[in-house]
Amino acid sequence: MANLDLLNEMQRRAVLQTEGPVLILAGAGSGKTRVITNRIAYLIEECGVNPWNIMAITFTNKAAGEMRERVDDMVGFGSESIWVSTFHSSCVKILRRYIDRLGYENSFTIYDTDDQKSVMKDVCKKLQIDTKNLKEKTILGYISSAKNEMISPAKFATENATDYHMSKVAMAYKEYQETLKKSNALDFDDLLVLTVELFEQCPDVLDYYQERFKYIMVDEYQDTNTVQFRLISLLADKYKNLCVVGDDDQSIYKFRGANIRNILDFERVFPETTVIKLEQNYRSTGNILDAANEVIKNNFGRKSKSLWTDKEEGELLTLKTFDNGFEEAEYIARDIRQGVSSGEFSYSDHACLYRTNAQSRLIEEKLIQNNVPYKLIGGVNFYQRKEVKDMLAYLKTIDNGRDDVAVKRIINVPKRGIGATSLNRVEDYAASNDLTFFEALMDCERIPGLGKAVTKINEFVNFIRVQRSKLGYNSLKEILESIMDGTGYIEELKTENTEESLARVENVEELLSKVVTYEESTDEPTLAGFLEEVALIADIDNLESGSDYVVLMTIHSAKGLEFPKVYLPGMEDGLFPSYMCINSDDPTDIEEERRLAYVAITRAMKKLTMTCARARMLRGETQYNKMSRFIKEIPGHLVDKGQSTGRSTVGAGSFGGFGTQPRTGAPTTASSGFGGMSAADLFKSNAFDKPKSTVKPDNSMSMLVKGNQMSKADGLDYGPGDRVKHIKFGVGTVVSTEDAGRDYEVLVNFDTVGPKKMFASFAKLKKI
């Protein structure tokens, strides 16, 4: 039964506005699910609407299940007739009944991701498409995007006729669709596209469902794509009783095809729209909401609204700045432990939300070291991720080759064309001769029946031997880089060019940073020592038992959730917002990043801590980034700017923002230097000022190292203005040298890669 007394004024208005198109702009934590369920109950009880005529649609099975449960509890008898479903499930029901109108049999098969890959593999083989240059998964990504925009194979071919690369995709798209139809099969995108096609080609079918669904409600409307918008528009076209609920400020799935214009242009498409704003927030304190409002108002492409609460102002937001990412992670782990020890919070009250999955590695390690239980949501432990395990398997094989599991894991990663039959023969030979699997591979020419596989096996064995010969001469970082490049592993992931593959690249690069950290903080670094350290860190099964644990997850995964205490690490330009968005030609990219920041801030109920680092190791290189522009958009009176009591941290004011002059410096990579800044500009900008530290740093710092390998150089035979040569970066000019106590810090402007700052004893620069 609907209970309007439990609703605020705007929520009641949303429930009572039953006729015509309605746009409910539901801000974060504003109780939108309560509105939807009460609206359904009100339609049935007070308006006399038959439950059969109501459709409630959302995105995930979980959300649909929760909505169904709430509707059943509230409506009671007759609720089973209400159509509560996801977009895809709704389309399956419709197509099972009417898809024969489109030339399919009603008993069609739905292909999952693996099925799609198998079909595309055959398609590429038939069309002689080189999958080394154009991956099957990449082609499927293009096809999915085209279907989301309702672009047919013929139209796709016309639009890409002059592009050689995309014309190949067009050929594959056409062949792929023909193959599916011959098999009477649909992929998930087809479910939506063919339902729209059915409605457009068969007016009687459309009319049947328009009569069936006289009242339609759509949740999370900001996440709809073009084909979903068309589907809903067709269904609602007769009676116009369409109520959509969403928040344009939380539209963060552009990479999945979400079209924010669907919600921004709703009134234009449906001119008689009633707009209702749910702005009262029941989740967060006043200061957190004020910060979120101040950040998001910098976006131009949005509906005007402002969250408010009748709760107390609460604590100020906390901002901590650190010398590096290690101290940042250490602070988070210790602060969580302290909050739990004081009895103020439980572990499960805490969430650490980050922009990219690769950021979890340092935080995981510090939580383990501080005996803090945690669980990754929507992901797996860093050292259990496929790409990380692949690289570690290569390193294990290089270390001794006796780990059969590791060797078997990588023998065909990336694919080398060594078939299962050949590998079974190698395994049988190993067992018969009491050899390890790798020893059998080395003896492959004696194994009968291998044929052409012998050449491919020898190539693998020789690659491992070459890498093994480098031990003791090359750094572990150089060996891992050689694996990444020599196998083509990274190149293959980059060519795939999907959200998942690029995230996997970031994870491998984070492992590279771990290698560098290990080498810099160990007296006598060895490959065996590194693998041993990783093995100890990776063994965290005992920490994930029970329900009281800290949650680690990406901000994208956190949408819709809430936590009493939230940490946002890595708040730096180049990380969040991402470097790609900062340098994008599309201004809407940075707006999507700002919406992501808004989502992150509004996950916090009581306390929000934002952290950033002056220097952070990314891809094995130390980078110097400015504080995130999103932090600088928060007014100073909302943030605790006092002197930090954490390890090696300072107040907000000394790192830029809040009425102070920001520190300058842009992200640097091995290939691009510091975002185009000259060495002179960097030097003048004080981007490399030595950070003040209240506590002597420990040996976990990537910037301070020990041991014979990195002992302080006995004076320098070069100085500012001299030309020097580096083994990797080539020739450059020394900009400055500075005595850093344990070593000399040298800033060099290299001719090819720009400015680099390094320790003299590690750089081994030669004056020329």
Active site amino acids: 32-33, 219-220, 250, 603
Cα separations (Å) of 633 from 247, 295, 622, 651?
Answer: 21, 5, 26, 17
Q: In degrees rounded to 5, what are phi and psi of residue 496?
A: -60, -40
Task: Give the 3-state secondary structure percentages of the chain, helix then strand then coil, rounded to 5.
Answer: 50, 15, 35
To which residue do tokens 């940073």 refer? 513
Task: Tell me the C-alpha distance between 469 and 459, whole Å.
Answer: 15
Helices (H) and strands (E) in the chain, counts: 31, 24
Tokens 């990663």 -> residue: 413
Q: Which two tokens stand for residue 564?
A: 């009493």
d(CA 218, CA 59): 9
**Quick one: which of 27, 28, 59 has its CA closest to 566?**
28
Q: How far apart are CA 613 and CA 220, in angstroms?
A: 35
The answer to whether 96 and 106 are in contact (CB under 8 A) is: yes
| Phi, psi values for residue 609, rounded to 5° | -120, 120
Closest by CA to 241, choosing from 59, 19, 477, 573, is 19
Name the token pair of 451.
């044929």
Tell me the DSSP string of 11-77. Answer: HHHHHH--SS-EEEEE-TTS-HHHHHHHHHHHHHHTS---GGGEEEEESSHHHHHHHHHHHHHHH-T
* Tokens 């990406």, residue located: 554
Cis amide bond preceding 414, omega within 30: yes
For the record, the structure tokens of 369 come out as: 């070291």
Torsion of the alpha carbons at 116, 120, 122 and 128, rounded to the nearest 10: 180
